[in-house]
Chain A
Amino acid sequence: MLKVESLSKNYDSKQVLADVTFQVNPGEVVGLVGENGAGKSTLLNTLATLIPLEKGHIEFNGLRYESDRQKLRQKIGFIPQDIAVWEEFSVEENMVFFEQLSWVRKSREQLRQLCLDMKLDRWKEKTQSLSGGMKRKLNIAISLIHDPDILLLDEPTVGIDLKSRKEIGSYLHDLAKVKGKTIIYTSHDMEEIMTYCDRIYVIGNDPFYKNLLLENGKKVEVL
């Protein structure tokens, strides 16, 4: 379980996150929405241990963010908004590269199966020749190599076709429901958020997102 208590973050004099408190249970898919600059990425980066914790308390499965950063990173799968893969490598080489540096060992067959589960079947193809959707799938597959307990995704489906978007959304939903992973992700695609998320948090003061979700009969919590 992820517990966030009284989390605050300032950039110089500007307060980005103010006394944020929430918790996410295993097997839940949680969406973070809000206008640009509201603090979604800051919250996600803090949960990913990329930004030091200044004020507040975060705990995941008993591991404290203040003291157990290295252990926490073994539990976290972070999917950045930018596609973070070696473009000149093939899908196979990308998977092997990150497997070698990962905490867990996996065979090539296991790595290939991970890709196939995501409907990424261009194993030998160079990444730079893949479609945007395929690259996004590879971006996620790499983050899953070490079997993380929590997945943090920063706009994982931005700029890709509808089919790939639905495949990724469906896969993430299954990951939570079947394997009990905790999934938190940000997106501007409200349809996707409403379809796959169990709970939705709105960050920021703009009422647009909150009203839109309420109009569609969704339960919303404001952070």
Chain B
Amino acid sequence: MIAILKTRILHWRKQGFSLICWLLLPLLATTIFITIADKWQEDTKIPVGLVVKDNSIMADTLTKAIEATPLIRVEKWSEDVALVKLEQHELDSVFVIEEGYQESIKDNSRNQLLTAYISDMSLAYTPVKEAIASYAQQDAGSSRAAHIVRQMIQHYNVERNWTWDEIVMTSNQIREDESLLHSSFSFHNQTVPVQEENSISLWNVWGIWSFFSLLTTFFLFDWVIKEKQSSIRIRLSFLKMSFKDYLLRNWIVYLILFMLFDFLNIGILVHYFDQSINIQQVLALISYRITISMAAFLFAQCFRVPFYYVVVVIPITILLSVIGGAFIPIEGLVRNMPWVIHLSPVHTFLEGKLVSSWLILLLVVLFIWYWRKEKVYA
């Protein structure tokens, strides 16, 4: 094995720069992709105009809630300026927190709390309106609860006389402490990431990484074709090991190299994107690495020309990544067609599972390949 490592290093020294570039591609491409996508996502947030005519605490809290809404970029203007911007389609819609907002809530009046303006180009008005209305409903709900509590205090002659402000404030405090109206979603076996709601990313870091990693693995395994088809092939039959042993041991050397860079990738990605990772996911990554390296190794043996191999593996990589949920979640698809999860090793990796049908199948194929008798003794 040491001999194989030494001879492989001779090859790597010749391809030093390109090899390092390919090995770092998953890390660099994922970092660049996610950074650009998040920036683009920030730039493409829905521009919503907000006019605040009420100076109350409740209006201020509502403003902050709207500003913290994911995928909305709030611009505060006077009503005149906001409407001009709406006409010029610089804003998707304009919402006005009317004067006396808190008083109306306090009086249990739910009409005319907010005013909304839209244009013929307001594409996202409905979901934004629903989001903002839900905040107002929340305030109205708190107020109504406060009124009922006060009625109960009077009805039961309780000594302590809670004011409306105290009840609403306590209610809000409890809501925040208990996260009654807030839910965080995470993948199975994944620790909930510490992330502010407003900085939510639409992209799955490990999904994007798995795509580039798969692509790199396929590309770097073109050595199998080059060494099988070269004139060297006959000479390699006269080694102290069989040609299949030579290929297999080189595969192991590549596997170890890939794993070293995978661990480097994990460290940097976890740190840079504030991702969490546990031992289960590390093991899933190792399993994924073995699976895709084996797939590339065996698949490359079916080709005689590296160019055709490259042309074929690009669409295969994209397909496996898409159906594996690397780019967009496929939970809906899986609900209707549960067998879809067996079509891509990417899904198994993203789910944090260790054994996939791909791994088992490829191990069987590798075993058959190794023990199959060649027609020619080479």
Q: Which of B7, B232, B376 contacts A100 (CB 8 A)?
A: B7
Q: Which of B4, B238, B377 contacts A51 (CB 8 A)?
A: B377
- How far apart are the CA atoms of A96 and B239 in the complex, in Å? 13
Most buried by A among B10, B235, B237: B235
Q: Which of A74, A80, A97 contacts B234 (CB 8 A)?
A: A80
Contacts of A88 in B (CB 8 A): 14
A153 adjacent to chain B (CB < 8 Å): no
* CB contact under 8 A between A101 and B246, given known A89-B10, A93-B10: yes
Are A85's CB and B232's CB within 8 A?
yes
Are A101's CB and B234's CB within 8 A?
no
* CB contact under 8 A between A76 and B238, given known A50-B376, A69-B377, A88-B14: yes
Shortest Cβ gap from A18 to chain B (Å): 21
Q: Which of B235, B237, B246 contacts A142 (CB 8 A)?
A: B235
Determine the residue in chain A with the shortest Cβ distance to B373.
A52
Residues of A50-108 contacting chain B, CB below 8 A: 50-52, 69, 73-74, 76-78, 80, 82-86, 88-89, 93, 96-98, 100-103
Contacts of A83 in B (CB 8 A): 231
Are A84's CB and B234's CB within 8 A?
yes
Determine the residue in chain A with the shortest Cβ distance to B234.
A80
Contacts of A73 in B (CB 8 A): 237-238
Determine the residue in chain A with the shortest Cβ distance to B6.
A100
Determine the residue in chain A with the shortest Cβ distance to B232.
A84
Are B235's CB and A100's CB within 8 A?
no
* CB contact under 8 A between A50 and B377, given known A82-B231, A98-B235, A101-B240: yes
Shortest Cβ gap from B157 to chain A (Å): 96
Shortest Cβ gap from A141 to chain B (Å): 12
Task: Give the total number of A-B pairs whose CB atoms are below 8 A apart.
Answer: 61
Residues of B200-244 contacting chain A, CB below 8 A: 230-241
A49 adjacent to chain B (CB < 8 Å): yes
Contacts of A80 in B (CB 8 A): 231, 234-235
Binary contact track B1-20/A, C-beta < 8 Å → 1, others 0: 00110110011001000000
Shortest Cβ gap from A136 to chain B (Å): 13
Determine the residue in chain B with the shortest Cβ distance to A105.
B3
* CB contact under 8 A between A89 and B14, given known A100-B6, A101-B3, A103-B240: yes
- How far apart are the CA atoms of A51 and B376 in the complex, in Å? 6
Most buried by A among B239, B241, B377: B377
Shortest Cβ gap from A88 to chain B (Å): 5
B340 adjacent to chain A (CB < 8 Å): no
B378 adjacent to chain A (CB < 8 Å): yes
Binary contact track A129-149/B, C-beta < 8 Å → 1, others 0: 000000000000011000000
Are B239's CB and A102's CB within 8 A?
yes
Q: List 12 A-B contacts (CB under 8 A).
A: A49-B377, A51-B376, A51-B377, A52-B377, A80-B231, A80-B234, A84-B230, A84-B235, A85-B232, A96-B6, A100-B7, A101-B3
Question: Given known contacts A89-B10, A96-B6, A98-B239, what 20 new A-B pairs fall within 8 Å (CB)?
Answer: A50-B377, A51-B376, A74-B240, A76-B238, A77-B238, A78-B238, A80-B231, A80-B235, A82-B231, A84-B230, A84-B231, A84-B232, A85-B232, A86-B11, A98-B235, A101-B3, A101-B7, A101-B240, A101-B241, A103-B240
| Interface positions of B (Cβ within 8 A of A) | 3-4, 6-7, 10-11, 14, 230-241, 246, 376-378
| Interface positions of A (Cβ within 8 A of B) | 49-52, 69, 73-74, 76-78, 80, 82-86, 88-89, 93, 96-98, 100-103, 142-143
